[in-house]
Amino acid sequence: MQILDGKKLSLEIKEEIKTKVSEYKSKLGKVPGLSVIIVGEDPASQVYVRSKAKTCNEIGMNSEVIELPESVSQQDLLKKVEDLNNNPDVHGILVQQPLPKHIDEFAVTLAIAPEKDVDGFHPENVGRLVIGRLEECFLSCTPYGIIEILKRYNISTKGKHCVIVGRSNIVGKPMANLMVQKLDGMNCTVTVCHSATPDIGSHTQNADILIAAIGKAKLITGDMVKPGAVVIDVGMNRVEDPSAKRGYRLVGDVDYDAAREKASAITPVPGGVGPMTIAMLISNTLKSFERAHQTV
């Protein structure tokens, strides 16, 4: 049984990016820049945003966090996005979600220039992903990180049955589209389950590759895993744990201890998919810089 160590892989990827950034710095006198907009003071969002900025700095990229008050108008937020779209030193823009209720999240997603949409949420990027123009778009970071785990661990995917539980726009749907692609994709047969799927186990028990992106702690039990399956656990759920320093610990959507008895390979939580997501965000920002400077 192999542990798919996303933390270790993410460090390798960040080292690769750091080397390239330093080469570009000496060659072009420029480095990639990521701008993150955060609206309001949601503590979880603040933690994510800071860690994204910190990672950029460690790698030698420029990063800025733009903090806007909870009361900011949609018009002012869109104006800020437009300024960033027009700033040649900014290669990646992301607006941390969730946004306050008075702001239309989709309008904000649409406002970000597709060529700087390093989250891969803009319909132009999603559309290119669906039709298989993978080299021309930004892939949504979590599914992209999972693809990198599968590739870098040499997991064979062609013709395999991949079952994805969850159909969100940021994980389940782009994941399904990547797994089914022929060229540059994983060439799998794909089943997508969701909250209206009866008897999810009857599907997951046939999965050569099982991807859980649900947001429900340990919903996938050991008996739902096919012997020898590759299990990718996207879930990050807080469960109370008085013995933990913060009073809680993170668990996945998969019952890890039971699933590892059946699986041939599995991602842990934490230390699996999570660290890869941020590495791919940085990778997308580098890609944007390279496209802007036509170095690829």
To which residue do tokens 């994805």 refer? 164
Return the number of the residue (142 or 284) whose C-beta is nearest ligand NAP. 142
Structure tokens at 288: 């944007």
Rule CB under 6 A: is residue 234 a binding residue for ligand NAP?
yes
Residues found in the chain: 296
Which one is catalytic: 14, 80, 116, 119?
Answer: 119
Sheet architecture: strand order including 92-95: 62-68, 33-39, 92-95
Strand segments, DSSP code E, in the chain are 2-3, 33-39, 62-68, 92-95, 161-165, 189-193, 209-212, 230-233, 237-240, 248-251, 265-266
* 70-105 CB burial, b ≥16 within 10 A, e <16: eebeeeebbebbeebbeeeebbbbbbbbebbeebee
Cα 206 to Cα 258: distance, rounded to the nearest angstrom: 17
Within 178-217, the residues that bind ligand NAP by CB under 6 A are: 193-196, 200, 213-216
Binding-site size for ligand NAP (CB under 6 A) equals 25
Rule CB under 6 A: is residue 273 a binding residue for ligand NAP?
yes
119 catalytic, yes or no? yes
Q: Look at phi and psi of residue 146 and say left if phi exceeds 0, alpha if psi is from -120 to 50, else beta.
A: alpha
Rg (CA), the chain: 19
Return the number of the residue (115 or 148) whose C-beta is nearest ligand NAP. 148
Please state the closest distance from residue 214 (CB atom) to ligand NAP, in A: 4
Rule CB under 6 A: is residue 130 a binding residue for ligand NAP?
no
Return the number of the residue (168 or 205) whose C-beta is nearest ligand NAP. 168
54 catalytic, yes or no? no
Which one among 10, 181, 267, 277 touches ligand NAP, defined by CB under 6 A? 277
Please state the closest distance from residue 122 (CB atom) to ligand NAP, in A: 17
Which one is catalytic: 14, 20, 80, 96?
Answer: 96
Rule CB under 6 A: is residue 235 a binding residue for ligand NAP?
yes
Residue with nearest beta carbon to ligand NAP: 168
Cα 82 to Cα 281: distance, rounded to the nearest angstrom: 21
52 catalytic, yes or no? yes
Q: For residue 55, what are the CA distances in angstroms to 34, 38, 106, 140, 272?
A: 11, 17, 27, 18, 17
Please state the closest distance from residue 29 (CB atom) to ligand NAP, in A: 34
Structure tokens at 72: 């900011």
Return the number of the residue (7 or 262) whose C-beta is nearest ligand NAP. 7
Site string for ligand NAP, 143-172 (x = CB under 6 A): ----------------------xxxx-xxx
Return the number of the residue (103 or 149) whose C-beta is nearest ligand NAP. 149
Return the number of the residue (171 or 263) whose C-beta is nearest ligand NAP. 171
Nearest C-alpha neighbor of 277 from the set 3, 6, 82: 6
Which one among 62, 63, 142, 288 touches ligand NAP, defined by CB under 6 A? 142
Kindly list the residues in this chain that would bind ligand NAP in the complex (CB under 6 A).
Answer: 142, 165-168, 170-172, 193-196, 200, 213-216, 219, 234-237, 273-274, 277
Give the residue numbers marked as catalytic. 52, 96, 119
